[in-house]
Amino acid sequence: MKILSVVGARPNFMKIAPFIKAIQKYNYENQTIIEHVLVHTGQHYDLRMSEAFFNALDIPDPDINLEIGSGSHAEQIGYTMVAFEKVLIEQKPDWVVVVGDVNATLSCSVVTKKFNIKLCHIEAGLRSGDMTMPEEINRLVTDKLSDLLLTPDLLSSDNLRKEGIPEEKIFFVGNIMIDTLEANREKSVNLDINNIVNVNMVDGMKYSYQHNLGSEYGLMTLHRPSNVDSEEVFIPIIKFLLEEVCKDLILFWPIHPRARKQLINIGLWDEVINTPSLILLEPLGYHEMVRLNMGARIMLTDSGGLQEECCVLGTPCLTLRWNTERPVTLREYGGASVLVGNNIERIRSEYYHTLKLDRLPSRPELWDGHTAERIVAIIINSNRK
């Protein structure tokens, strides 16, 4: 059997790493060869957004890199489809495995089904209900086309049933991101916070950082177009950070290229890097981010993956979105996160409330570190049918 899997952007890498390891384990234990080909579409291409994750998570180099790079959605999707079609003609896999909800996921799913090749979607069934999110469109199309839909939680399985996906295609397998978290916890916990911060500080910051053990800090990430692209939304968030959060807390902000460009465009870059308690960092490696998350007093984020990691690590989390496709991470489901959207009044009141909360780790069903093994078993079984 030949499986071809696809990655394109940063959040894909932590999902594919355990899958590849589970294939290797299966081959070793069963004296068999599942042939595996890894395709990187190249949507993320920087050392820090891409290659660093391959190295840190021990992912083999991609067999094929489509080198699509940046562009509009239509450009990224169109170029990926054209290039991926050639890959399928040459490789002729039995299965294509896609993960998550980025543009690579959608593009390669469409091309795969045009060739009538079996398609498996890891992290199926997530729904925010928000059609203004590019990721929601990617999820809907990918799930409609998939032959195997592997869900991280039971709410996601229910979403698929409600959309009329046949029961025999849906498998609840747990969250593969948590496989990566569990496999890398030990390495992360031993990293030194001072070192992480000082090595990764963006150029131009005047301060060196001396972390005292036990002292408190917050952690933030922001990258969604809905928060970053519009000045009316982005500027008040930055002002809130500068005028309130950073008055009483050190805030580490590993900055995504989209947010960095916008800070420069709106003329706030200098003010931000000259605020001693707001420490801008380059995009962090996997272990470095987990380490900072483990010790953070509070997380402010619009990332789906961080919401999940905060849930398992117990970091009180403000999710700067109005909706989430990951409700199991919310406080009402036992998780660590609360939706605050991008309204400053709401962010402010939840911020001060959340600062008083203790860490509360929780583990949704099957977020147990063994999702990838279940996935490999399901694909093998389906291939026999």
Of 40, 223, 256, 287, the catalytic one is 223
Could you confirm whether 370 is annotated as catalytic?
no
The residue among 36 and 260 lying less far from ligand UD1, judged by its C-beta, is 260
Q: Which residue has the tokens 């117990």?
A: 314
H or E segment to which residue 218 belongs? strand 217-220
Shortest Cβ distance from residue 159 to ligand UD1 (Å)? 18
Contact 205, 198 (CB under 8 A): no
SS3 17: helix
How many angstroms separate the CA atoms of 324 and 327, rounded?
6
Supply the DSSP symbol for 357. P
SS3 47: helix
Q: Is residue 78 within the footprint of ligand UD1 (CB under 6 A)?
A: no
Q: Is residue 328 within the footprint of ligand UD1 (CB under 6 A)?
A: no
How many angstroms separate the CA atoms of 156 and 96, rounded?
21
Q: Is residue 135 within the footprint of ligand UD1 (CB under 6 A)?
A: yes
Q: Is residue 21 within the footprint of ligand UD1 (CB under 6 A)?
A: no
Ranges of H-type helices in 148-210: 154-162, 176-189, 193-200
**187 to each of 48, 56, 296, 372, how far by Cα in Å?**
19, 10, 17, 20
Shortest Cβ distance from residue 368 to ligand UD1 (Å)? 24
Of 5, 41, 103, 301, the residue at the interface with ligand UD1 (CB under 6 A) is 103
Contact 117, 94 (CB under 8 A): yes
Q: Is residue 375 within the footprint of ligand UD1 (CB under 6 A)?
A: no
**279 to each of 247, 250, 275, 342, 348, how far by Cα in Å?**
13, 7, 8, 21, 20
The residue among 254 and 316 lying less far from ligand UD1, judged by its C-beta, is 254
Q: Is residue 154 within the footprint of ligand UD1 (CB under 6 A)?
A: no
Supply the DSSP symbol for 34. -
Q: Is residue 236 within the footprint of ligand UD1 (CB under 6 A)?
A: no
**17 to each of 30, 177, 368, how far by Cα in Å?**
20, 9, 16
Q: Is residue 44 within the footprint of ligand UD1 (CB under 6 A)?
A: yes
Stretch that binds ligand UD1, among 44-52, 142-150, 153-161, 171-179 (CB under 6 A): 44-52
Q: Is residue 70 within the footprint of ligand UD1 (CB under 6 A)?
A: yes
Q: What is the CA radius of gyration of the chain?
A: 21
Q: How many residues in the shown chain lie near ligand UD1 by CB under 6 A?
A: 19
The residue among 135 and 308 lying less far from ligand UD1, judged by its C-beta, is 135
The residue among 11 and 125 lying less far from ligand UD1, judged by its C-beta, is 11
**Per-residue contact string for residues 267-306; x = within reach of ligand UD1 by CB under 6 A:** ----------------------------------------
Q: Is residue 46 within the footprint of ligand UD1 (CB under 6 A)?
A: yes
Query: How many Cβ atoms sit within 10 Å of the Cβ of residue 7?
Result: 32
Shortest Cβ distance from residue 243 to ligand UD1 (Å)? 27
Of 43, 337, 342, 354, the residue at the interface with ligand UD1 (CB under 6 A) is 43
Q: Is residue 51 within the footprint of ligand UD1 (CB under 6 A)?
A: no
Q: Which two tokens stand for residue 159?
A: 């979403």
**Direct distance between the N- and C-terminal alpha carbons of the chain, in angstroms, rounded to an integer:** 13
**Binding residues vs ligand UD1 (CB under 6 A):** 9-11, 43-46, 49-50, 70, 101-103, 134-135, 223, 256-258
Q: Which residues have a catalytic role annotated?
A: 223
